[in-house]
Amino acid sequence: MEKSNLNKENSAPISLPYSLKGKNVTIYRGGPESKTGRLIDVQSDYIALGTENGVIYYQAEHIKSISEDPIFNSMQSNLMQKEKIIYYQSKNFVGIMNNLKSKLVQINQGGPESKKGLLLDVKSDYAVVSTNDDGIVYYNIHHIKSIMTPQNNNSQLGDEVTNLAGQEYIGAPEFNQLFRQMTHGWVSINRHGPEALEGILVENTDGYFTLINNKEIYRIHPLHVRSISFGPKGFLKKLNNKEDDNAKNSNESQMEKGENSNKTNANKEVEVDSSGEENQQLQIKNLVETLNIPSVAGLFIQQVVLKGMAKALKIF
């Protein structure tokens, strides 16, 4: 089996496999990013791979290897010439991401930073993705290995896509400037893995930022951050689940009251809680204790509940 390799060391130019265009290849020899399909496009800093699940756009600087099976390609050459795959084309990887705006995308094919969500916006070096569990996630484009639009997902999700599109987000020309707008807020750095962190973000000197979580203090630089979001990881999913449980319990309670009223046939006045704000504060306290998150994160949840999540994200 013949193999072609892509390697990037520092600022060395990338050798792209133009001769393999139109052939069946395997990207990576293993791992979550490893996929086999037809190499349908080769550009300055990315390649496009047509697979049975959709077209995957790989950022070339992260590709470690590309392998070809020449015997298979020779047998399938006539068939592949007849196949037509619809895909986006641009001069660079950022351009491809711009073409995917307002679509449901899969960031990376697997690993700690793999995430599915609605691509809301693309800046010069970062992308804004709306997710169901973490809310708005800001991805450093430099660290994105691949992106794709799974087939038929937009039509299947329907209302879910509409809800994701409704989330508001903050904006900045560049990724490092985004950090300055997040200072003094509780943030989550990276999605999973050993480099995932949470805490209060404080600006430092020389472009560095400090992340404080209880007694631990971390010094980080935006260049090495893969993604960042407001609030604890998974807070939006937990918040939605908590609201669903509260609504369910409330409905069950109302049904029990109705049944008891019918049995006793008594005309009793239903007592209404007039202290709505105090009740909200109590719910917030219970939610913070349930999620087991620091008090600063509780303040963030408080803003979400009282003012609406979209407004809270915009304020920060």
Residue 144 has pLDDT above 90, yes or no: yes
pLDDT of residue 306: 45
pLDDT of residue 138: 97
pLDDT of residue 241: 58
CA 177 – CA 203 distance, rounded (Å): 11
Residue 134 has pLDDT above 50, yes or no: yes
CA 309 – CA 168 distance, rounded (Å): 8
Q: What is the DSSP letter of 123?
A: -
pLDDT of residue 285: 55
CA 21 – CA 18 distance, rounded (Å): 6
Tens digit of pLDDT for each residue in 102-129? Answer: 999 999 999 889 999 999 999 999 999 9
CA 2 – CA 20 distance, rounded (Å): 11
- The whole-number average pLDDT for the span 61-84 is 76
pLDDT of residue 10: 41
pLDDT of residue 98: 97
pLDDT of residue 85: 87
Beta carbons of 197 and 183 less than 8 angstroms apart: no
Tens digit of pLDDT for each residue in 153-173? Answer: 444 555 566 677 778 899 899
> How would residue 228 be classed by pLDDT, with cut points 50, 70 and 90?
very high
Tens digit of pLDDT for each residue in 160-206? Answer: 666 777 788 998 999 999 999 999 999 999 988 888 999 999 988 88
Residue 9 has pLDDT above 60, yes or no: no
Beta carbons of 20 and 26 less than 8 angstroms apart: no
Tens digit of pLDDT for each residue in 76-92? Answer: 665 545 568 899 999 99
pLDDT of residue 214: 85
- Token duo for residue 233: 């990881």
Mean pLDDT of the chain: 76
Among 158, 195, 201, 165, CA closest to 183 = 201
- The whole-number average pLDDT for the span 18-34 is 90
CA 75 – CA 42 distance, rounded (Å): 23
pLDDT of residue 234: 67
Tens digit of pLDDT for each residue in 232-247? Answer: 876 566 565 555 455 5
State the sign of the Cα–Cα–Cα–Cα dihedral 88, 21, 10, 35. positive
